[in-house]
C-alpha cells in the first residue's frame, strides 16, 4: 500500500461510522464524491484490500516484450558493444526497428549489470565569489565578438575592462582581432585610472603560455618565460589570475550580454555606421552605464596605484639582442643603426634590449640607458606583435605577423661593411675546399692503400 492509499482506511471508516460526510471525506482524499462512495462499498465488502488499486502487482500492458528485451541485451553485449545509451537508442530505432526510449535502454543495461561507457559525474560544487572590497583591487578583462553594427558592418571584437568591486566599466575598445596590440592598448587606457592589484581573465595565449615548449634556460629556472603581455604586467607589479571556466568570470560575461542588447540599440538609434564613430561614442556610453548600474564598494578606500611615467616604454615588446659587427640591432623584418659610443668606440658584441612600442617606435637600451631610438617608418598604422618567435614557433602559438608590422624590404636591407669571402659558408663560417683540391685527391688515393695494408697486417 502506498502512502496515498494508507490515508484511505481511516477516513473511509470514519465516514461509514457517520463522523464525516462523503463530501468531507472526498475533499480530504482529493477525489470525487462518487469515487469516495465506491471506496466505502469496497471497504465494506473486501476490507482494506478493497482500498488498494486493482492493477497493483499486475504486469503492465505496455511493457516491453521479453523477446525484444533479450534481443536488446544481446545487441548491447555484441554488435553495439561500447555505444552509449543515446547512440544505442538511435541504432535500435534506425537499424533494428525497435521504438524504444533511452531511459528504457538504460534500465535494461542497469538490470544486466552492464557498466556505462562513460560514468556520469555530479557537477562540481560552485559557490558565488564575493566581490572585492575595494575599487581597483581586481579588474576583469575579456573580449566579445559580435555584430555590433548589426547588418551595417562585419564582426568586430569589443575588448573591455570591468572593475570587480563596483561593476564599473573602465575601458571599452573596438578591435578587429583579439590580439596583443588590442590588449596593450586596453592596458594603456586602464593606467589612466591607475594600476590595479590584479587582472582576471581567461587562458588566451596573449596572457599566458599554453604550450609545452621549454627551453634549456627555462628548465634551469624551473618556470616558463612569460608572454610579452606577462612581462608588461610583471614590470608594473600587476598579478594575473586565470579563469578555468566561463562561470568563473561570469560578471564580465553578463556585461557582454547587456552590451549586446543595450549598446547595439544605442548605436542603431544614433545612426552610427562605422567603427570609428562607434569608438568615439564609447566614452559617453561608459559614463551613462556607470551612472545607472555601478554600485558602491564595501570599503571607501581604493586600491589603485599611480602608474609610472613615462608608461610607453613599459607597454612594449622586449627582445634581448647582441649587437652585430656593423653596430646594428635586428628584429625579424626590422633593424636599427646604433650611434658610436664614447670616444668613437663600437657596440659590437654588447648585449642590449630592444623594445618595440605600441606606436611603432623602436628603443634600444644598454644597462637601462637609452642609446638609440627609431620611429615607425611606414605610413600604414603599426600593429604590435611578438617578433622573436620563428615562423614555425609563431604558427604553434597562433601568432601571425601582419602586413602593418612588416617593414619594406628596401628599408630592411643591411649594408655590409666588408664583402663576404668566397668559399666560406654562410652560417658555419667554414672554408670548404674544392673537389680538385690536393687534400681531397690525396685522401682519395691513399684510402685504398691504407685499407689494403690494414688487411695485410
**Beta carbons of 80 and 114 less than 8 angstroms apart:** no
**How confident is residue 410, by pLDDT bands cut at 50, 70 and 90?**
very low
Q: Could you tell me the residue range of the domain that residue 197 belongs to?
A: 139-211+222-293
Which H or E run contains 146? strand 138-146
* 107, 172: one domain: no
* 273, 321: one domain: no
* Domain endpoint, select from 412, 433, 450: 412
Q: Minimum mean pLDDT among 47-61, 153-167, 437-451: which range?
A: 437-451
Q: What is the pLDDT at residue 412?
A: 46
Q: What is the DSSP letter of 88?
A: H
**Beta carbons of 40 and 15 less than 8 angstroms apart:** yes
> Widest CA span of the chain, in angstroms?
133
CA pair distance 187, 195, nearest whole angstrom = 9
231 vs 410, which has greater pLDDT?
231
Tens-place pLDDT, residues 132-164: 999 999 999 999 999 999 999 999 999 999 999
* 84, 146: one domain: no
* 40, 76: one domain: no
Q: Indicate whether 417 belongs to any domain.
A: no
Q: What is the pLDDT at residue 401?
A: 59
Q: Minimum mean pLDDT among 18-32, 218-232, 302-316, 424-438: which range?
A: 424-438
**In this structure, are strands 369-374 and 362-366 parallel, antiparallel, or unpaired?**
antiparallel
CA pair distance 263, 285, nearest whole angstrom = 8
- Listed in sequence order, the DSSP H helices in 236-376 are 250-269, 275-293
For the chain, give the mean pLDDT. 85
The pLDDT > 90 percentage for the chain reads 50
What is the DSSP secondary-structure string of 191-238?
Answer: TTT-B-SEEEE---TTTS--S----HHHHHHTSPPPPHHHHHHHHTT-
Tens-place pLDDT, residues 79-114: 888 888 889 899 898 888 888 899 999 999 999 988
Q: Does pLDDT of 181 surpass 90?
A: yes
Q: What are phi and psi of 351, to 5 degrees?
A: -90, 125
At what angle are helices 8-16 and 33-46 packed, to 10 degrees? 90
Q: What are phi and psi of 69, to 5 degrees?
A: -65, -45
Q: How many domains does the chain have?
A: 4
Q: Indicate whether 304 belongs to any domain.
A: no
Q: What is the pLDDT at residue 370?
A: 94
Half-sphere exposure of 38 (CA within 13 A, CB side): 8
Which are the contacts of 272, defined by CB distance < 8 A and separation ≥ 6? 149, 278, 281
Cell representation of residue 6: 494508507
* 144, 260: one domain: yes
Q: Indicate whether 263 belongs to any domain.
A: yes
Cell representation of residue 253: 560575461
Q: Indicate whether 286 belongs to any domain.
A: yes
Tens-place pLDDT, residues 243-298: 988 888 899 999 999 999 999 999 999 999 999 999 999 999 999 999 999 999 99
> In whole angstroms, how large is the CA radius of gyration of the chain?
39
397 vs 151, which has greater pLDDT?
151
* 76, 41: one domain: no
Q: What is the pLDDT at residue 414?
A: 46
Q: Indicate whether 127 belongs to any domain.
A: no
**Beta carbons of 384 and 358 less than 8 angstroms apart:** yes
Which are the contacts of 331, defined by CB distance < 8 A and separation ≥ 6? 319, 321, 354, 356, 362, 387, 388
Q: Indicate whether 433 belongs to any domain.
A: no
**Beta carbons of 138 and 150 less than 8 angstroms apart:** no
Q: Does pLDDT of 396 surpass 60?
A: no
Q: What are phi and psi of 290, to 5 degrees?
A: -65, -35
Q: What is the pLDDT at residue 397?
A: 45
Region 392-410: mean pLDDT is: 54
Q: What are phi and psi of 352, to 5 degrees?
A: -130, 170
* 146, 253: one domain: yes
* Residue 161 Cα distances to 11, 165, 171, 243, 361, angstroms: 67, 12, 5, 15, 26
At what angle are helices 22-29 and 8-16 packed, to 10 degrees? 170
Tens-place pLDDT, residues 319-337: 999 999 999 999 988 899 9
Region 45-65: mean pLDDT is: 77
Tens-place pLDDT, residues 360-386: 999 999 999 999 999 998 888 899 998
Q: What is the pLDDT at residue 419?
A: 52
Cell representation of residue 173: 575598445
pTM: 0.67
**How confident is residue 1, by pLDDT bands cut at 50, 70 and 90?**
low
Buried b (16+ CB within 10 A) or exposed e, 431-453: eeeeeeeeeeeeeeeeeeeeeee
* 200, 100: one domain: no
440-447: long-range contacts, CB 8 A cutoff, minimum separation 24: none
* 47, 78: one domain: no
* 162, 268: one domain: yes
* 280, 390: one domain: no
Cell representation of residue 19: 463522523
Question: What's the CATH number where 243 sits?
Answer: 3.30.420.10
Q: Indicate whether 253 belongs to any domain.
A: yes
224 vs 59, which has greater pLDDT?
224
13 vs 201, which has greater pLDDT?
201
CA angle 211, 215, 217 (to 5 degrees): 135
**How confident is residue 403, by pLDDT bands cut at 50, 70 and 90?**
low
- Tell me the range of 168-177, 210-219, 422-431 where mean pLDDT is highest: 168-177
CA angle 356, 359, 364 (to 5 degrees): 30
Q: What are phi and psi of 411, to 5 degrees?
A: -85, -20
**Beta carbons of 13 and 34 less than 8 angstroms apart:** no
Q: Indicate whether 442 belongs to any domain.
A: no
* 25, 145: one domain: no
Amino acid at each position: 500500500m502506498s502512502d496515498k492509499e494508507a490515508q484511505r482506511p481511516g477516513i473511509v471508516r470514519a465516514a461509514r461510522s457517520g463522523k464525516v460526510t462523503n463530501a468531507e471525506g472526498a475533499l480530504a482524499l482529493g477525489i470525487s464524491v462518487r469515487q469516495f462512495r465506491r471506496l466505502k462499498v469496497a471497504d465494506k465488502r473486501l476490507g482494506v484490500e478493497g482500498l488498494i488499486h486493482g492493477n497493483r502487482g499486475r504486469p503492465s500492458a505496455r511493457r516491453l516484450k521479453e523477446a525484444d528485451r533479450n534481443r536488446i541485451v544481446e545487441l548491447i553485449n555484441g554488435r553495439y558493444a561500447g555505444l552509449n545509451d543515446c547512440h544505442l537508442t538511435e541504432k535500435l530505432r534506425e537499424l533494428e526497428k525497435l521504438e524504444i526510449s533511452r531511459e528504457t535502454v538504460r534500465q535494461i543495461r542497469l538490470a544486466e549489470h552492464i557498466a556505462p561507457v562513460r560514468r556520469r559525474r555530479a557537477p562540481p560544487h560552485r559557490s558565488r565569489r564575493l566581490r572585492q572590497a575595494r575599487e581597483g583591487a581586481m579588474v576583469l578583462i575579456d573580449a566579445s565578438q559580435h555584430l555590433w553594427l548589426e547588418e551595417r558592418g562585419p564582426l568586430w571584437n569589443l575588448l573591455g575592462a570591468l572593475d570587480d568591486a563596483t561593476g564599473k566599466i573602465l575601458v571599452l575598445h573596438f578591435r578587429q582581432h583579439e590580439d596583443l596590440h588590442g590588449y596593450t592598448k586596453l592596458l594603456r587606457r586602464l593606467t589612466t585610472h591607475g594600476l590595479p592589484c590584479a587582472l582576471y581573465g581567461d587562458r588566451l595565449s596573449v596572457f599566458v603560455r599554453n604550450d609545452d615548449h621549454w627551453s634549456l634556460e627555462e628548465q634551469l629556472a624551473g618556470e616558463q618565460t612569460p608572454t610579452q603581455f606577462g612581462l608588461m604586467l610583471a614590470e608594473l607589479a600587476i598579478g594575473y589570475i586565470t579563469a578555468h571556466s566561463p562561470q568563473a568570470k561570469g560578471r564580465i560575461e553578463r556585461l557582454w550580454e547587456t552590451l549586446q542588447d543595450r549598446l547595439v540599440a544605442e548605436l542603431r538609434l544614433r545612426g552610427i555606421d562605422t567603427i570609428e564613430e562607434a569608438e568615439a561614442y564609447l566614452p559617453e556610453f561608459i559614463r551613462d552605464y556607470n551612472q545607472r548600474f555601478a554600485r558602491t564598494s564595501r570599503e571607501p578606500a581604493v586600491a589603485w596605484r599611480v602608474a609610472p611615467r613615462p608608461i610607453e616604454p613599459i607597454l612594449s615588446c622586449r627582445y634581448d639582442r647582441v649587437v652585430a659587427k656593423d653596430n646594428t640591432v635586428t628584429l625579424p623584418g626590422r633593424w636599427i643603426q646604433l650611434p658610436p659610443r664614447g670616444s668613437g668606440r663600437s657596440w659590437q658584441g654588447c648585449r642590449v634590449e630592444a623594445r618595440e612600442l605600441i606606436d611603432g617606435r623602436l628603443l634600444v637600451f644598454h644597462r637601462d640607458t637609452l642609446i638609440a631610438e627609431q620611429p615607425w617608418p611606414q605610413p600604414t598604422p603599426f600593429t604590435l606583435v611578438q617578433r622573436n618567435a620563428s615562423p614555425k614557433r609563431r604558427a604553434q602559438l597562433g601568432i601571425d605577423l601582419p602586413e602593418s608590422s612588416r617593414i619594406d624590404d628596401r628599408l630592411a636591407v643591411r649594408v655590409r661593411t666588408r664583402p663576404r669571402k668566397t668559399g666560406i659558408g654562410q652560417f658555419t663560417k667554414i672554408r670548404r675546399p674544392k673537389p680538385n683540391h690536393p687534400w681531397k685527391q690525396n685522401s682519395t688515393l691513399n684510402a685504398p692503400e691504407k685499407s689494403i695494408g690494414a688487411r695485410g697486417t
